[in-house]
Every structure is written in structure tokens, then in C-alpha cells.
């Protein structure tokens, strides 16, 4: 058990919902969520399809530990061909939605085709129906959730939806559930919008089971204690959230600032996790209200924040006076240092709008940062921006443009393209801080070498969550490595990538791995699931998933030539800080990485590798 | 003095481990929809409120039951549903002014917190100390009881 | 001190037990009019459905329950009250004296003025004896006409369906459960029944019942007429006060009582269905429902032993299960002229919630298809709490009543 062994297939073109048994042969090789849904996806979708066409599919998938008492067992992933990247996309979210889908008796939902008119999917246990969403179209995710709760008189409905950004096909639109949790990256929300699918609302009363309850409780209890006693998961994350990193990474000289022209931000302390605790403004209350857990999570790193009522962004907008999802580190970075902005409440407001309208704040902030640089060099002028100076450091530019992106108005349309297309459009493709079309997040690879290889080889475009070598290179988890050397990094990146693929397929949160190794996770999977889930099997599965994703990308035309970093990172030395004078030395790492992967020098898995992994 | 559940919203992060533990205890699977303890979210305030039966002295549910299917456990003081006596008439669900007795459609019986016979699973599962099982009365319950007294006017005479 | 309690239903039994808990030495006599152990009419539908045996309807299950408490049981009907003698007369002529008397004689079914309701094959559904009669005739395939789609009618429908009878429901008013549900909810309940294969004829009167061969012939207005093997009359109840006609006790529709459940005669109290007492919101009325029965029984018992306790007032509250569709109503669910109303309706899902407000207080509610936490509606209404900002939130989404309850708790 662990699985519900049931898949819901929704044909949006035909308007049908069909239950089918979960392919248990695949489940035994891909576990769930990221791995299993990717297997379904690559088996069913031509890699060359246009991501926004009806031929693309969109899968919402849980893992076997989703909706169980295993700590952090909240996760679900959205798998599709990404609108931002054209590569395999797998965006992971927490909150309550994934567990609710399990409680309703489903492991995953596969959407195919395209609805003629806007629809939403209502799932109450076994019963799934497509219903007209005309009245919801144009609404944000917050209003959508509220309207669906009212319409169905069910406060327990858990909802995953897109906002205006997804409807407007913003390339980095995300899917938002439970008001402020998001399957954030690669434009999975734009794919959902292209299918005229506004929302999925789920309520489940069937519950979940595990294969060996006695062993499960014992091991899950033991592992929860590890999380509680660990300094990061027991104290750092609950207190500061991921924002605990802002000052640390800045001091390390690895905080990309002003579109990565700099690697340190002079006002980092003003936008840090610590700053969120400081009393401020008219009320003398801090930005942070409290921490919040996702379903089943005993870490509770989520930030609940409130904007000062007197702040310019909300002074006449009482609808934004309440508490909502606050700044996580990556969002704080993209909309703060990367744009040179140090106004915590302005950033919080932009974050609220990103949640409300389903915008990936990383890509939005990084795209705005690129636009700011284009503006400063004169490639973009007031003519394009409608008279708004897009200067680094302008909070007004940030909060005005986030609304423009959400609404698809004015220069917001250009920003909605993502930095790659934007910079190409305005003649400076090298100013896009992206890999495979996706903007990299809050770690500058000049100061943390392993992250360069991480970004370059990530199957979904630049991303920190595919191999978070920051753990090792900065935090010393599981062991400390020197962030300035490239030695050993290919093996480190490969190992992290494979482990992460396994964790992402289980239903657990990657953040648990600040305290847990795969050795801690494996017995939880093994007790919950039928079959024998050894450490070796999980590691091999992780590698298999990685290669499966890679093969999809190769077939989609994304080959080794795209395992490249933005020119700035490999040619412009870090101007300040401990990494001063350094660039990222990707070239030193990539060949070794390919070789460790069992790939050709061009980055293609060899037949032997495919055979070894039974692909 | 009986021990009682102490519920502290200030400490609750909304993880719902308690709901899973409760449903496991009673139903043998993880199913918040069948939990006797519920976490209510107040998103605007960023607040989570754990809530379940207070085992109130007035026992509105017990008094309203027409077939003696809610009885007091002498050891724990809990008001317990006696399943084989409950006919599923649901009168207790409307009589309890705290809204803590619910009807279970599948079984055709009502369900409420019975303190797990003296070792509540929710308190054991709570990672933050928002739910604890302690000696004596908790002031939060006292507030509810005071209100109950005002309405019923009986407690003052007891 | 000798306490005599007339009526062995929930009000009488709880009163007797409460008196005992308050006074170890009192003499307590509990007089029940039916030759049965103390039982609950609420449980009869489940007996009819075959879900429980007769024992399952008993109010108390320990065989020595009343003996152990020193409560003397008498099975007899009371035929008269003699306040001057401080005594009651039983149907055999026996007199029982009292120091304190509680009248908890409950209700009796009301028959509409239709000829033929005394024929064999026509039954009320009120007592255990009625239930036995119905069970004998409600065999698989039997044609059964349910006269009246009120609370009792609806709640026994499932039992009749479980007995595989062919059921027709005839209701004189324009909707089902008219005294508990509004047009919308009553209409949905009707549609629900019809979808489950039951013929429901609202705005229809049965004008006569006649013998016809082995069965019964029912003339209906409007037609067509009906044939039946069993007619169940469930057209309402009224307080059982016939025996009090010459007692001089103050009667309205029921026995008039004050907030202490005292009647107009010194030493005589009344509780349960039979009394007409104070309402939660200052009015006056009869509330033939289980929670009010037990609460007034307790209040009466306290005052009978000399502990002055005032009742907070009775409120209508009902929960109804019609073939699995669960409905509830509370308080002034009809609303008041200067009040506000909030409602959410999802007809396809049989879900409905409607709240009635006066000022910033909740005064009534109807729910359909909703069972979780509905007791909080009672809490919100009866505590008369100011809703403050939650009023506007409930106006927008009345399904959030539980949050409103929690948010205003302790305020």
C-alpha cells in the first residue's frame, strides 16, 4: 500500500473522467510522483509537441508517502512539458492538496486535450466531474478558492488553481494550491491555462493505508525525532524559514545581485529572515506573523506574513491587509537583491500578487532584473515601460510590474515571456540569467561552484532543487566541501540529483534532507509500500528517473549544447566577497559529469547505461 | 480530577498530524475527514485552532441521547458513544452547542472524542505541544463551560 | 418529600433521575401510560427498519436501573389531577398523592377530520404498539400510504423502504416537512424522495378511507384515489392534556409554565412536549423535541427539590434523515421581518445552508446535506453572541459558521 492504485484520466477535449488502475509494474520501478508520473508522461506524449498545444499532457501526481503521517508527506508534483523551457517539467508543491487527492482515493490525475470553454475539475472521492469555470476565469487563485468553497459549501475542499498569469499564458505561470503553496517552476500554470483548466477542487474521505503499520509508526516516529533535534529542521527553518540563508549566502559572496552583476547585496540584512522578525512601520509589528506547516510536516518552515497597512502598496487595498504566504528565500532574493530592492513589504506585496495570480516569483524577479539591466543600458526605454523607470532598486517598478505581468498589460506582456525571450527580443540574449530558458535562483555559481553544474545539467532548466549542493558546499550536509573548488563536484552533483529524484518520487519534502539522508527515508518508504524498497533500489531508481528525463529532453531537441551557463557566470569574475575574481568553471566539471553518468561526451546516455538502468 | 486535553492555537502549525493520529486510532487508516479533532484555519490571521469535545460537565450530548448511547467513562470522565446502542438519530449532533459530535454516514453512528480511553493519540502525535493531555482543567474549556452555564443555568445549581 | 412524575418518556425519566441525584431520600414515583419499559419514540424508526430490537428503544438498559435508583414505576394512565387533594387519579381509580407533581405526559397524535381513520389497517406511528402494528402490515410489496410528510413521516420513510413496500406519501401542504423546512429545502427533500422511487403528492388531501376488499380505498383531492394495505397517519401531534380538563390548571395549547417549569398550580410542574413555556428569544411556545424534553425535565427536577433554576428558554431544533438526506433546522429559521438572510444552494448536490440574522446575531438556520459541526449553530444562536465582523463573512459564505463560532468563542 502507500499507493491508492488508481489514476484519474481527464480528457478535457471530450469532457470525460475515467478511472484506471495504477500501473503497478511501473510503480515498482518509479515509486510515485516525479518518477512515476514522468514515466506515464514520456510513454504518452511526443517529446516534440508544443507545450501549449492540446497534445501536451499535464499530470498531478502524489507519492506513496503523501497523505501519511511520515513527516513532510504533503507533496505532489505537476509534470508536463514546460511552457518556459520546452523541457520536461516537474514542479513540486506542498500544502494540503496532494494529501487530499490521496484521501479521495487517487494517486494521480492525467489531463489531456483542451477544453473548449474554461472548466474546473471537482473530485469528491470516487466521483470526478468537469464543471464550467466561466465565472472563475479572470479571477485570482484566492478568489477562485473562495468561490469554490462557497459554491460547494465544503470548507474542506482543497484547491489547486491558476490565476490570471496562467490564463494569460505567462511563460512562468505556476499552479497555486491552498492559497500560497505553488508548483512554481517551468510554466506548468501556462500549460494548465492553455488547456482551459482553471482549477482542481478535491475532497476525500477514503483515507490512506500503509503496508506495515507497526513498522511504519515505529520508523516514522524515530525519524520525526531526528527532524526535531536537528539544528536546521528543528530550529532554523521553523524560526526563519528558508530565509535563514539570506545573510549566509550574502556573506559568502554568492548572492546574485542586480541581475548577477554583483554577488553581494549591500542591503541583504534588510530583506533577511532576521529582518522579517523586526517590528516595523506604523504598527510596530513584524512582517512575519508565524510559521506554518504543510500537511503532516513537523518542520513547519512556511512563512505567514502581513504587510504594514500603511505601506504604499496596500494603503487603499484592505484585501491585502490579512496574513498570507510570506517570503521564502528564493522569492526574497529574486524580488529583492536581484532587482536591487530592499523594501521588505514591497517584496511581500509582490509575493502576494505572485500567489494570487499564479506567477513563479523566481522567474518573474529574475526576468524583471534582466529588464532592469536592459533599461539601464538603454535597450529598453520609457517607451516600452510606459514611462516607468525600470531602475535597479525601484520597489515601485517591482510592485507595478508584478501587477502588469498578472494582468497581461503593457510591458507586463514582454516580462511574461521570461528573460530568455525578453533579452532576445531586445537584442541582448546574454543578459538572460537562465539555462534552457529557466532563470537560475538565489545561489551564484561563481561563489558556489557545484551550483554551476547543477544549473547547467538540470533537466528542467536552471534550478536549485535538482541537486542542492549548497547543503554540502555551504551548510556541510552531509559533509562539508569547498564551494570554490570544482574537484569532486561532478560526483556530488550526480549523487544529489539521483537522491533528489528518489525523494521527489516519495511524497516527502526535499527539505527533510537537511536532516535526513536517504538512509532515513528508505525505511519509511519500505514500511509504507508493498515490495522491497532497498537503498540500492532507490538510488538506482533515482538514476533511472534522471536518465528518463534526459532522454525526453534529447528527443525534444534539448541536447548537451544546452548544458551551458549564462556567459556572465563563466566570463565576468565576481567583483567582491570571498569569491572575488572567480568565475564558474563549468568546463572543468561537465566532461567528468557526463562520464560519471555513463553518457557520451555529447551528453547522450550510452546504450550500456540505458541497458544497466533497464530503460 | 480527570486529565483533560489542552489545546493551544498559538503553538499549532496546522500540520494535521493529530487528525491522522485520531483517524488511525478509530478507523485504522489515515483520514482527516474522520477525525474527532479538527484543526480550523483562520487564514487571514495566520491562525490554526485545534478543536474537539471538551468533555463538558453538562454533557448536552449525553442528556439528549434517547437511547443511553452516550455514557461516561468512570476512569477518564470522557463521554463515550456506545456504538451498539447508538441508532444514529443524530439528536446529539444538534444538541451539542460546541459542534463536536458528528455523524458518520458510513457507519450510521455518531462519533466524538473519547480521549482514546485515557491516552489521546492526538496529543501524542502533536509535534509542537499545541495539544497536550494534562492534569486538571484547562482555562480554554473553562470559558466554554462558563458560557454553557449561562445558557443552561443548571451548573449553578449543581 | 414525595415526587410523582406523570410520563415515562425522556423528560419524565431524566427528571426522576435528576431528583434522585439531588435528594437521596425523596420518594419518587414514575407513572407511565403504556405497558412498556421506559422507551424512546425517537428510536421507533430504527425498530421499524429492523436495525434494532425493541430493547434498542429503551431509554435505560440496565434491568434494575429504576430499582437501583429507588424510583418506583407504575404502569397506568392518569385520568385526573386533583390539586386540592394534591393527588392524581389512575385509570383503575387508584389515587396517588404527591408533594410535588411533574406532568411530562408528552404528546398524542392528531387525526385530521377524515372518515375511516379508525379502520383496521390504519395506524399512527407514535407508540411501540403502533410500531408492532405497522411491522405486521408493512410486508414486502405491500401498498403503503403515508399520510403526512412531516418529521415523523420523513423519518420512517427509510424504514418503510427498507421493508420493500410500495410507498406513496400524501401531504396536504405544498411541500414536505413544512414546519421544519422552507420551500427550497422542502422541495429538495421531495425531489430526493421521488428520485428514489417514492411517489410524493404534496398539496393533496385524503378525504376518506374506506374498506375495499382486502385493503383500503383512499379518496384524494385532487385525485386520483389510492389503494392501500396500510395507511400510516403522521399528521402531527398535540400536548396530551385531556386528563387535565377539570383540574383548573392553566392551559394554552399546552400546560402553561414559567421559566422554572412551574404550572399555574402550586407544586405542579410540567416538562417536555406537554408544556408551553419560555422560548430562548423571549417568546412562548411548545417544542415537542428531544433536547427540550430533557432540558426542561432537568430544570423542573431542580425546582421540584427546591433548587431555584431558570430555564434559558426552548429553541426549535430538529435533525431529519430522509432516506439518507440529512436536514436540520434551528430557531427562527423562517427569519424575521427586519432581519438578514444568507443562503447557499447547490441543487445538484442536495446541499443547502441558510442563516437568519437579526442585527448582528444569528437567530435561525437551515442545513441540508451537511452534518459536520452543525451543533455549533445551536451554540451561535442560543448564546446570542454578537457576530461583529463575522456577520458580513457569514453573509458572504454561510457555510463558515463553525469558524464564526470559534472566532467568537469566549467573546
The three cell numbers of residue C92 are 383503575
Q: How many CB pairs under 8 A join A and C?
A: 26
Tell me how many degrees the CA angle A337-A342-A343 measures, rounded to the nearest 5: 135
Cβ burial, residue A286 (10 Å; 0-12/13-18/19+): middle
Contact A207 B30 (CB under 8 A): yes
Which of A124, A129, A153 to probe the C interface (max C CBs under 10 A)?
A153
C361 in contact with B, Cβ within 8 Å: no
Contact B46 A292 (CB under 8 A): yes
Whole-angstrom Cα distance, residue A542 to residue A531?
Answer: 17
Whole-angstrom Cα distance, residue B100 to residue B115?
Answer: 13
The distance of A285 to chain C (nearest Cα, Å) reads 22
- What ranges make up the beta strands (E) of A113-250? 119-124, 127-132, 158-161, 175-177, 181-183, 197-203
pLDDT grade for B155, boundaries at 50, 70 and 90: very low
What per-residue confidence (pLDDT) applies to B2? Answer: 80
Which of A289, A296, A302 to probe the B interface (max B CBs under 10 A)?
A296
Residue of C57, C312, C371 lying closest to B103 (CB–CB): C371
Contact A208 B31 (CB under 8 A): yes
Residues of C in contact with A154 (CB under 8 A): 399
Every domain of chain C and the residues it spans: 2-108+238-304, 122-234, 332-408
Backbone angles phi, psi at A44, to 5 degrees: -105, -20
Convert the pLDDT of each residue in B78-119 to its tens digit.
999 999 999 999 999 999 999 999 999 889 999 999 999 999
What per-residue confidence (pLDDT) applies to C166? Answer: 93
Every domain of chain B and the residues it spans: 3-148
* Residues C64 and C39: beta-carbon distance below 8 Å: no
- Nearest-Å Rg of the Cα atoms of chain C is 22
Helix (H) / strand (E) element for B133: namely strand B131-135
In order of C15, C66, C301, the CA distances from C9 in angstroms are: 10, 13, 14
Convert the pLDDT of each residue in C59-83 to its tens digit.
999 989 999 999 999 999 999 999 9
pLDDT (average), residues B40-48: 92
pLDDT at A145 over 80: yes
Domains C2-108+238-304 and C122-234 share a fold: yes
What per-residue confidence (pLDDT) applies to C377? Answer: 96
What per-residue confidence (pLDDT) applies to A83? Answer: 98
Helix (H) / strand (E) element for C361: namely strand C361-368
Average pLDDT, chain A: 97
Residues in CB range of B8: below 8 A, 6 or more apart: B50, B129, B130, B131, B132
What per-residue confidence (pLDDT) applies to A133? Answer: 98
The three cell numbers of residue C180 are 421544519
Q: Identify the chains in contact with A, defined as 3+ C-beta pairs within 8 A.
A: B, C
Q: Tell me which fold the domain B3-148 belongs to.
A: Alpha-Beta Plaits (3.30.70)
pLDDT at A115 over 80: yes
Return residues 64-83 of B near C (CB < 8 Å).
64, 66-68
B121 in contact with A, Cβ within 8 Å: no
The distance of C117 to chain B (nearest Cα, Å) reads 29
Class of domain A439-612: mainly alpha
Q: Tell me which fold the domain A6-203 belongs to.
A: Aldehyde Ferredoxin Oxidoreductase;  A, domain 1 (3.60.9)
Q: How many CB pairs under 8 A join A and B?
A: 79
* Residues A93 and A81: beta-carbon distance below 8 Å: no
Residues of C in contact with A151 (CB under 8 A): 344, 346
ipTM for the assembly: 0.95
Q: Of C144, C368, C126, C115, nearest to C235 (Cα)?
A: C126
DSSP B31-62: -GGG-SSEEEEEGGGTEEEEE-----TT-HHH
The distance of C383 to chain A (nearest Cα, Å) reads 24
The distance of A322 to chain B (nearest Cα, Å) reads 5
Whole-angstrom Cα distance, residue A232 to residue A328?
Answer: 15
Architecture per CATH, domain C122-234, reads as 3-Layer(bba) Sandwich (3.50)
Pairing of strands C351-358, C361-368: antiparallel
Q: How far is CA C389 from the centre of its chain?
A: 35
Contact A203 B21 (CB under 8 A): no
Whole-angstrom Cα distance, residue A381 to residue A389?
Answer: 8
Q: Which residue of C has its CA nearest to B151?
A: C312
pLDDT (average), residues A176-194: 97
C407 in contact with A, Cβ within 8 Å: no
Convert the pLDDT of each residue in A425-464 to its tens digit.
999 999 999 999 999 999 999 999 999 999 999 999 999 9
Pairing of strands C107-109, C237-239: antiparallel
pLDDT at A498 over 90: yes
What per-residue confidence (pLDDT) applies to B144? Answer: 57
Count how many Cα atoms sit within 13 Å of the Cα of residue A259 in the half-sphere of its side chain. Answer: 27
Pairing of strands C340-346, C199-201: unpaired
Which CATH code, of 3.30.300.30, 3.50.50.60, 3.20.10.10, 3.40.640.10, is assigned to C2-108+238-304?
A: 3.50.50.60
B9 in contact with C, Cβ within 8 Å: no
Whole-angstrom Cα distance, residue A119 to residue A294?
Answer: 27
Q: Which of A256-260, A402-406, B102-106 has the lowest mean pLDDT?
A: B102-106
The three cell numbers of residue A1 are 500500500
Residues of A in contact with B31 (CB under 8 A): 103, 205-208
pLDDT grade for B141, boundaries at 50, 70 and 90: low
Whole-angstrom Cα distance, residue A610 to residue A155?
Answer: 48
Place of cell 457569514: C394
Backbone angles phi, psi at A483, to 5 degrees: -65, -15
Residues in CB range of A242: below 8 A, 6 or more apart: A273, A301, A328, A329, A330, A511
Q: Tell me which fold the domain A242-251+257-432 belongs to.
A: 1.10.569
The three cell numbers of residue A189 are 500554470
The ranges of chain C with pLDDT < 70 are 410-411
The distance of A156 to chain B (nearest Cα, Å) reads 8
Per the rule left: phi > 0, alpha: psi between -120 and 50, beta: everything else, C293 is alpha
Q: Identify the chains in contact with C, defined as 3+ C-beta pairs within 8 A.
A: A, B
Q: Which residue of A has its CA nearest to B27?
A: A207
Residue of A71, A209, A304 lying closest to B46 (CB–CB): A304
Residues of A in contact with B34 (CB under 8 A): 205, 207
Which of C326, C347, C348, C349 to probe the A interface (max A CBs under 10 A)?
C349
pLDDT at A330 over 60: yes
Convert the pLDDT of each residue in B120-133 to its tens digit.
999 999 999 999 99
Residue of C369, C370, C399 lying closest to A150 (CB–CB): C399
Residues in CB range of A328: below 8 A, 6 or more apart: A241, A242, A243, A303
* Residues B34 and A207: beta-carbon distance below 8 Å: yes
Contact C397 A146 (CB under 8 A): yes
Contact B157 C308 (CB under 8 A): yes
Backbone angles phi, psi at B35, to 5 degrees: -85, 145
What per-residue confidence (pLDDT) applies to A381? Answer: 96
Residues in CB range of C85: below 8 A, 6 or more apart: C95, C97
pTM strictly above 0.90: yes
pLDDT (average), residues B61-90: 94
* Residues A19 and A125: beta-carbon distance below 8 Å: no
What per-residue confidence (pLDDT) applies to B156? Answer: 34
Every domain of chain A and the residues it spans: 6-203, 242-251+257-432, 439-612
Q: Which residue of C has its CA nearest to A154?
A: C399
Contact C376 B97 (CB under 8 A): yes
C75 in contact with A, Cβ within 8 Å: no
Q: Of A359, A369, A364, nearest to A339 (Cα)?
A: A369
Contact C375 B42 (CB under 8 A): no
Tell me how many degrees the CA angle C8-C10-C11 measures, rounded to the nearest 5: 85
pLDDT grade for B59, boundaries at 50, 70 and 90: confident
Pairing of strands B38-42, B47-51: antiparallel
Return residues 38-67 of B near A (CB < 8 Å).
43-48
Return residues 127-156 of B near C (CB < 8 Å).
140, 143-144, 147, 150-154, 156
pLDDT at B154 over 50: no
Place of cell 490571521: B45
Per the rule left: phi > 0, alpha: psi between -120 and 50, beta: everything else, C288 is beta
Convert the pLDDT of each residue in A120-134 to its tens digit.
999 999 999 999 999
Amino acid at each position: 500500500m502507500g499507493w491508492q492504485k488508481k489514476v484519474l484520466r481527464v480528457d478535457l477535449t471530450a469532457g470525460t473522467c475515467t478511472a484506471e488502475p495504477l500501473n503497478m509494474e511501473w510503480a515498482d520501478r518509479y515509486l510515485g510522483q516525479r518518477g512515476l508520473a514522468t514515466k506515464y508522461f514520456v510513454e504518452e506524449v511526443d517529446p516534440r509537441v508544443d507545450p501549449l498545444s492540446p497534445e501536451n499532457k499535464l499530470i498531478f501526481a502524489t507519492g506513496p508517502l503523501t497523505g501519511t503521517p511520515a513527516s513532510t508527506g504533503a507533496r505532489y508534483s505537476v509534470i508536463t512539458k514546460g511552457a518556459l523551457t520546452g523541457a520536461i517539467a516537474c514542479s513540486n508543491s506542498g500544502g494540503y492538496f496532494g494529501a487530499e487527492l490521496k484521501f479521495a482515493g487517487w494517486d494521480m490525475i492525467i489531463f489531456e486535450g483542451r477544453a473548449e470553454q474554461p472548466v474546473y475539475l471537482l473530485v469528491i472521492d470516487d466521483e470526478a466531474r468537469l464543471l464550467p469555470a466561466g465565472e472563475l476565469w479572470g479571477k485570482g487563485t484566492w478568489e477562485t478558492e473562495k468561490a469554490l468553497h462557497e459554491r460547494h459549501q465544503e470548507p474542506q475542499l482543497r484547491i489547486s488553481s491558476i490565476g490570471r498569469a496562467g490564463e494569460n499564458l505567462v511563460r512562468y505561470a505556476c499552479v497555486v494550491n491552498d492559497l500560497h503553496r505553488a508548483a512554481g517552476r517551468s510554466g506548468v500554470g501556462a500549460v494548465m491555462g492553455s488547456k482551459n483548466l482553471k482549477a482542481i477542487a478535491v475532497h476525500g474521505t477514503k483515507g490512506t493505508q500503509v503496508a506495515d503499520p507497526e513498522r511504519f509508526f515505529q520508523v516514522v516516529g524515530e525519524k520525526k525525532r531526528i527532524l526535531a533535534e536537528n539544528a536546521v529542521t528543528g530550529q532554523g527553518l521553523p524560526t526563519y524559514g528558508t530565509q535563514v540563508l539570506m545573510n549566509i549566502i550574502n556573506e559568502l559572496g554568492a548572492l546574485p545581485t542586480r541581475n548577477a552583476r554583483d554577488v553581494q547585496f549591500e542591503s541583504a540584512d534588510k530583506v533577511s529572515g532576521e529582518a522579517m522578525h523586526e517590528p516595523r512601520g506604523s504598527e510596530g509589528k513584524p512582517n512575519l506573523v508565524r510559521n506554518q506547516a504543510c500537511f503532516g510536516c513537523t518542520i513547519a518552515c512556511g512563512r505567514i506574513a502581513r504587510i504594514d497597512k500603511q505601506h504604499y502598496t496596500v494603503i487603499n487595498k484592505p484585501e491585502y491587509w490579512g496574513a498570507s504566504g510570506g517570503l521564502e528565500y528564493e522569492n526574497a532574493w529574486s524580488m529583492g537583491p536581484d532587482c536591487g530592492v530592499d523594501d521588505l513589504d514591497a517584496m511581500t506585496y509582490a509575493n502576494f500578487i505572485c500567489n494570487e495570480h499564479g506567477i513563479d516569483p523566481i522567474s518573474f524577479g529574475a526576468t524583471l532584473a534582466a529588464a532592469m539591466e536592459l533599461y539601464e543600458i538603454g535597450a529598453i526605454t520609457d517607451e516600452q515601460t510606459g514611462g516607468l523607470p525600470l531602475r535597479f532598486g525601484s520597489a515601485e517598478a517591482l510592485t507595478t510590474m508584478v501587477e502588469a505581468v498578472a494582468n497581461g498589460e503593457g510591458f507586463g506582456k514582454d516580462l511574461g515571456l521570461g528573460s530568455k525571450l525578453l533579452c532576445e527580443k531586445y537584442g541582448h540574449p546574454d543578459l538572460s540569467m537562465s539555462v534552457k530558458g529557466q532563470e537560475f535562483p538565489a545561489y551564484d555559481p561563481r561563489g558556489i561552484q557545484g551550483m554551476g553544474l547543477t544549473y547547467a545539467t538540470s533537466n528542467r532548466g536552471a534550478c536549485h532543487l535538482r541537486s542542492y549542493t549548497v547543503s554540502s558546499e555551504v551548510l556541510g550536509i552531509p559533509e562539508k566541501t569547498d564551494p570554490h573548488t570544482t574537484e569532486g563536484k561532478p560526483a556530488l552533483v550526480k549523487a544529489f540529483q539521483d537522491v533528489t529524484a528518489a525523494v521527489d518520487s516519495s511524497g516527502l519534502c526535499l527539505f527533510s534532507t537537511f536532516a535526513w539522508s536517504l538512509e532515513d527515508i528508505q525505511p519509511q518508504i519500505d514500511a509504507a509500500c508493498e515490495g522491497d524498497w532497498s537503498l540500492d533500489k532507490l538510488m538506482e531508481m533515482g538514476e533511472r528517473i534522471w536518465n528518463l528525463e534526459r532522454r525526453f529532453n534529447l528527443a525534444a531537441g534539448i541536447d548537451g549544447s544546452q548544458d551551458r551557463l549564462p556567459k556572465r557566470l563563466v566570463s565576468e569574475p565576481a567583483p567582491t566577497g570571498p569569491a572575488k575574481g572567480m568565475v564558474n568553471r563549468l568546463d572543468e566539471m561537465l566532461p567528468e559529469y557526463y562520464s560519471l553518468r555513463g553518457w557520451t561526451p555529447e551528453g547522450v546516455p550510452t546504450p550500456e547505461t540505458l541497458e544497466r538502468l533497464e530503460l | 480530577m480527570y486529565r483533560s486535553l489542552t489545546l493551544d492555537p498559538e503553538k499549532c502549525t496546522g500540520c494535521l498530524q493529530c487528525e491522522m493520529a485520531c483517524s488511525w486510532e478509530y478507523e485504522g487508516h489515515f483520514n482527516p475527514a474522520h477525525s474527532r479533532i479538527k484543526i480550523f484555519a483562520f487564514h487571514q490571521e495566520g491562525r490554526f485552532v485545534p478543536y474537539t469535545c471538551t468533555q463538558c460537565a453538562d454533557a448536552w450530548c449525553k442528556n439528549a441521547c434517547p437511547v443511553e448511547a452516550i455514557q461516561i467513562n468512570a476512569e477518564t470522565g470522557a463521554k463515550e458513544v456506545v456504538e451498539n446502542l447508538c441508532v444514529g438519530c443524530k439528536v446529539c449532533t444538534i444538541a451539542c452547542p460546541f459542534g463536536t459530535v458528528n455523524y458518520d454516514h458510513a457507519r450510521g453512528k455518531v462519533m466524538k472524542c473519547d480521549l482514546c480511553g485515557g491516552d489521546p493519540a492526538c496529543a501524542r502525535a502533536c509535534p509542537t505541544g499545541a495539544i497536550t493531555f494534562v492534569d486538571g482543567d484547562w482555562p480554554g474549556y473553562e470559558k466554554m463551560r462558563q458560557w454553557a452555564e449561562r445558557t443552561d443555568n443548571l451548573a449553578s445549581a449543581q | 418529600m414525595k415526587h410523582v412524575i406523570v410520563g415515562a418518556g425522556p423528560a419524565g425519566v431524566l427528571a426522576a433521575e435528576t431528583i434522585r441525584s439531588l435528594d437521596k431520600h425523596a420518594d419518587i414515583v414514575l407513572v407511565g401510560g403504556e405497558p412498556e419499559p421506559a422507551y424512546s419514540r425517537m428510536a421507533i424508526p430504527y425498530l421499524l427498519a429492523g436495525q434494532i430490537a425493541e430493547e434498542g428503544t429503551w431509554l435505560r438498559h440496565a434491568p434494575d436501573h429504576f430499582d437501583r435508583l429507588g424510583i418506583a414505576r407504575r404502569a397506568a394512565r392518569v385520568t385526573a389531577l386533583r390539586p386540592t387533594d394534591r393527588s392524581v387519579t389512575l385509570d383503575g381509580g387508584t389515587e396517588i398523592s404527591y408533594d410535588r407533581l411533574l406532568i411530562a405526559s408528552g404528546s398524542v397524535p392528531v387525526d385530521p377530520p377524515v372518515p375511516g381513520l379508525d379502520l383496521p389497517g390504519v395506524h399512527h406511528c407514535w407508540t411501540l404498539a403502533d410500531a408492532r402494528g405497522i411491522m405486521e402490515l408493512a410486508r414486502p410489496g405491500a401498498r403503503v400510504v403515508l399520510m403526512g410528510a412531516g418529521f415523523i413521516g420523513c423519518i420512517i420513510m427509510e424504514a418503510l423502504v427498507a421493508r420493500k413496500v410500495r410507498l406513496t406519501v400524501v401531504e396536504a401542504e405544498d411541500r414536505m416537512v413544512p414546519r421544519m423546512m422552507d420551500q427550497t429545502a422542502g422541495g429538495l427533500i421531495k425531489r430526493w424522495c421521488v428520485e428514489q422511487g417514492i411517489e410524493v403528492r404534496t398539496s393533496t388531501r385524503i378525504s376518506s378511507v374506506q374498506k375495499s376488499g382486502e385493503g383500503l380505498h383512499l379518496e384524494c383531492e385532487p385525485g386520483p384515489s389510492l389503494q392501500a394495505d396500510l395507511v400510516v397517519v403522521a399528521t402531527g401531534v398535540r400536548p396530551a392534556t385531556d386528563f387535565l380538563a377539570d383540574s383548573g390548571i392553566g392551559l394554552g395549547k399546552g400546560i402553561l409554565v414559567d421559566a422554572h417549569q412551574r404550572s399555574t398550580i402550586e407544586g405542579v410542574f410540567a416538562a417536555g412536549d406537554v408544556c408551553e413555556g419560555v422560548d430562548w428569544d423571549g417568546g412562548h411556545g411548545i417544542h415537542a423535541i428531544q433536547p427540550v424534553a430533557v432540558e426542561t425535565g432537568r430544570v423542573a427536577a431542580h425546582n421540584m427539590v427546591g433548587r431555584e433554576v431558570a430555564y434559558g428558554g426552548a429553541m426549535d431544533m430538529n435533525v431529519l434523515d430522509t432516506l439518507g438526506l440529512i436536514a436540520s433546522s434551528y430557531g427562527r429559521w423562517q427569519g424575521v421581518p427586519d432581519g438578514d438572510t444568507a443562503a447557499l444552494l447547490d441543487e445538484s448536490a442536495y446541499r443547502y445552508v441558510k442563516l437568519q440574522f437579526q442585527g448582528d446575531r444569528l437567530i435561525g438556520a437551515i442545513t441540508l446535506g451537511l452534518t459536520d459541526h452543525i451543533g455549533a449553530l445551536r451554540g451561535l444562536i442560543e448564546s446570542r453572541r454578537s457576530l461583529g465582523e463575522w456577520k458580513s463573512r457569514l453573509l458572504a459564505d454561510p457555510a463558515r459558521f463553525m469558524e464564526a463560532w470559534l472566532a467568537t468563542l469566549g467573546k
